[in-house]
Every structure is written in C-alpha cells, then in structure tokens.
Amino acid sequence: MPRPSRTRRITATRSEYGEEHLRRLRLVRALIQVGRVPVTTAREVLTAIEDDSLDHHHRLGAAVRALPCGPEPDESDPATTVARSTATELLEHLEWRADLATSPAFGMLVTALTALHRLGYVCDTAHLLPYARQAEHLAVADLDLLEEFETPEEQVEAAVALTVLYEPVLLSLRRPAESEESNRRFGSGS
Amino acid sequence: MPRPSRTRRITATRSEYGEEHLRRLRLVRALIQVGRVPVTTAREVLTAIEDDSLDHHHRLGAAVRALPCGPEPDESDPATTVARSTATELLEHLEWRADLATSPAFGMLVTALTALHRLGYVCDTAHLLPYARQAEHLAVADLDLLEEFETPEEQVEAAVALTVLYEPVLLSLRRPAESEESNRRFGSGS
C-alpha cells in the first residue's frame, strides 16, 4: 500500500513521522544491503517490528532471526545426524532460556558441525562449550553497543546492521590473536 | 615435480613416509576445500611448512595466513582512510607482539570497519577493544584444540581446517546468545 504523499522529501524541520519513516528505510537498507536479506523477507521484518503487541525483545529477535544463516543441513548426509545430536546435547548443557532448536541459527550450527565431522574432526560438547561461553560474552558487548542508541527503533535497526557488520570484525581479529597465542606457546621468543 | 611412485596406495602397514604424504594430501584438501585457497597458494603453503628452518609457530602462521581474507579495502573510498586509522589505533592499544598491520587479516578488518563507517555507525577503539579481548580468549580455545593433536604436522593441518570450520560455529552461537542477552535485558520474563 504505497503512501506517496508521505515519502516526499522533507527539507526543513522533519516531522516525527518523517524521522520514523527514514529510520524504516534505513532498516530496510541494512537488511537488504548488509544482511543480504531477500526483499520479501525484509517486508516481513518491517511488519513484525511495527506490531505494537510485540515487546522490544521480540522486535529485536524478529529482525535478527530474519538474517540468512547459510546453507540448510543436508539431511541425506549421515554426518548431519551425528552433528544434530551433538548440537542438541550442547543445548542441554547451556542454560539458555530460548529454544535454540527452533532458531534459524540452529541449522547453521548443524551444517558447521557436519563439515567438521565429515573431515574427521572430533567435535563434542566439551569442545563446543568454550565457544558457546565466548558467544555469551560477545552478546554482552553486542547489547552494550545496541544500548548506545537512544530509541527502540534505532536499536532494532542497529541490531540487524551490527550483528552482520561485526562478524568480519570478529573473524579478522581472531586470526592474528591465534598467531599471538601460537607465538606465546611455540615461538622462539623472537 | 611429481613423484608418482610415492603416491600409490599403501594397503597394509603404512610406512612413515606414507603417513606423512597422506597428511600433506589432507592439508592440501583442507586448504582448497575448506579454506577455499587457490591451488597455487596451497602449493606455496606446502613449501613453507616443509621448510625445516621454520619453527612450529612460523609453520602454523604460514598455513593460517594463506587463508583468504575477503575483499581488499577500497582505497578510493574516503571511508577506508578513517577505517584504517581506527584499525591502526586499535593495534596501538593491544599488546600483541606480531605486526598485525602486515597481516592479511588487517585488510579484512579495514574493509569491515569501512562498511560500518559508510553506514554511519561510530566504531572507535573503545568499541573494538571488547571484541579484540574476546578474540584473545577464542585464540586460547583454538590453540587448546590444536594441542589435542599429537604431531606438529597434524597441528598445522588442523590449524587451517579448524580456523575456517569454527567460524560458522562461532557465528551460529552468537545470534542465539544475543537473543538470550536481549531477553535478560528487555524480555518480559515470559
């Protein structure tokens, strides 16, 4: 339902409605350009976050859950069965309240564990727990970052953009940190 | 320089050389299939890790540094200049001994910071430090994992495979962890 009269450029003092509309456009841009979310999905996210019956937590969740999670697990691969049971066992060890098994990220975890299993790398709950604990610490940093934004709307937009944009930041810091730790353990001190 | 007589299948007791050769093949497979490293680069990595003058730390480094780091920074974009100065300032705050500025991961960091800057997200050293500290903790988990492998050769192979294969594991755990932290801060307790 297009509302052309409301999308025209506001030059002087922007009305309250104009600000909100610009933020919606920025969120759609963040979803599509940064999150590589399909246009139809971006529209569903907008509907969800405009739903007044949802609290702030569920609006943030709707936005982040819309982000793509890579290839779905290949159910014809026997390694997927092993990976799924490892992922389920990990969930039992974590005290997370949300049902991760229904989250799109669960498929991403199963796919990743399948690749490890297929290459012969043992990866059980004991191996995964340190990474889950680090994810918890990262999430604290992520939410601290979100809370720097004043309005709930800006926070929802930032949740999408920063979840995606901080992924390469984190991965680009992990490799030199590995080199640092390797030097500490195996280096000749040079 | 092909050595066909040494690549034939060894059926019964594998000789010492056979084991080493099989490990090399697995490393090449890990680099190409898992790390998406070009064949010529994989060959350079093999040369580096077969170099007896290198210690274990430098062999691990040669393997991990060969991994692709995504698109190079776009030097024609003014946002890249800002991002590079942020990345350099971050390095000055970290006590890492290695020269990160010469590492291929540095370009990956600059590219990621450029995207943040271009979308108007302020991202300075204070924002990045918590992520660098988390990367240090992750690196401890990564090296603990490596040290489960007995031989230095297996560790080099695992460094490549696990650096790459744990990336989606980590990212898939971060999103539900964010949801957990969001629920803690904003949830209605339901």
ipTM (interface predicted TM): 0.85
Using a CB-CB cut-off of 8 Å, the residues of chain B touching A188 are 55, 57
> Do A105 and A136 belong together in one domain?
yes
Query: How many CA atoms, within 13 angstroms, populate the side-chain half-sphere of residue B30?
Result: 29
CA distance B29 to chain A (A): 10
Is the residue at B84 inside a domain? yes
Residues of B in contact with A31 (CB under 8 A): none
For residue B7, is it within any domain?
Answer: no
Is residue B105 within 8 A of residue A175, CB to CB? The reply is yes
Residue A31 within any structural domain of the chain: yes
Tell me which of A24-33, A134-143, A175-184, B149-158 is least confident.
A24-33
- On whether residue A63 sits in a domain, the answer given is yes
Do B136 and B76 share a structural domain?
yes
Number of structural domains found in chain A: 2
Of A18-27, A44-53, A89-98, the range with the highest mean pLDDT is: A89-98
Same domain for A80 and A110, yes or no, is yes
Write the DSSP assignment of A9-51 as a string of letters: ---SSPPHHHHHHHHHHHHHHIIIIIS---HHHHHHHHHHHT-
Do B130 and B92 lie in one domain? The reply is: yes
- My answer on whether A81 and A134 are in the same domain is yes
If asked whether residues B118 and B76 sit together in one domain, one would say: yes
User: Could you tell me the pLDDT band of residue A189, with boundaries at 50, 70 and 90?
Assistant: low
The C-alpha of B4 sits at a distance from chain A's nearest C-alpha, in angstroms, of 25
Q: How far is residue B107's CA from residue B104's CA, in Å, rounded to a whole number?
A: 6
Residues of A in contact with B176 (CB under 8 A): 96, 98, 100, 103, 105-106, 135
What number of residues does chain B have? 190
**Exposed e or buried b for every residue in A153-178, given b needs 16+ CB within 10 A?**
bebbbbbbbbbbbbbbbbbbbbbbbb
B window 55-114, beta carbon within 8 A of A: 55-57, 60-61, 64-65, 67, 69-70, 96-98, 100, 103, 105-106, 108-109, 111-113
Is the pLDDT score of B12 beyond 60? no
B52-77 average pLDDT score: 88
Q: What is the share, in percent, of chain A residues with pLDDT greater than 70?
A: 90
pLDDT tens digits for range B95-134: 887 777 788 899 999 999 998 998 888 899 999 999 999 9
Mean pLDDT along residues A92-100: 82
Same domain, A57 and A33: yes
Judgement on whether residues B85 and B51 belong to the same structural domain of the protein: no
- Provide the whole-model pTM: 0.84
Position A185 scores a pLDDT of 95
CB contact under 8 A, A180 and B96: yes
User: Are residue A105 and residue A84 in the same domain, yes or no?
Assistant: yes
State yes or no: pLDDT of A30 exceeds 80.
no
In a domain, B177, yes or no: no
Same domain, A101 and A114: yes
**Amino acid B88: pLDDT:** 92
Provide, rounded to the nearest whole percent, the portion of chain A with pLDDT above 90: 44
Mean of all residue pLDDT scores within chain A:
85
Residue positions counted in chain A: 190
Q: Could you list the residue range(s) of the whole structural domain that residue A122 is in?
A: 72-147
Q: Within its chain, how far is the Cα of A22 from the centroid?
A: 23
Stretch among A21-30, A51-60, A66-75, A81-90 having the lowest mean pLDDT: A21-30
Q: Domain for residue A171, yes or no? A: no
- In this predicted structure, the answer to whether residue B70 has a pLDDT above a threshold of 80 is yes
User: Would you say residue A186 lies in a domain?
Assistant: no
Same domain, residue pair A142 and A96: yes
A139-182 tens-digit pLDDT: 999 999 999 999 888 898 889 889 988 999 999 999 999 999 99
Q: Would you say A119 and B25 are in contact if contact means Cβ atoms under 8 Å apart?
A: no
Is B168 a member of any domain?
Answer: no
The reported pLDDT for the residue numbered A15 is 55
Q: Which of A41, A68, A95 is the last residue of a domain?
A: A68
Please state the rounded mean pLDDT for residues A22-40.
82
Q: pLDDT digits over A58-82, tens only?
A: 989 988 888 888 888 999 999 999 9
Residues A61 and A115 in one domain: no
Chain B interface mutation, best of A170, A184, A188, A190, highest count of B Cβ atoms under 10 Å = A170
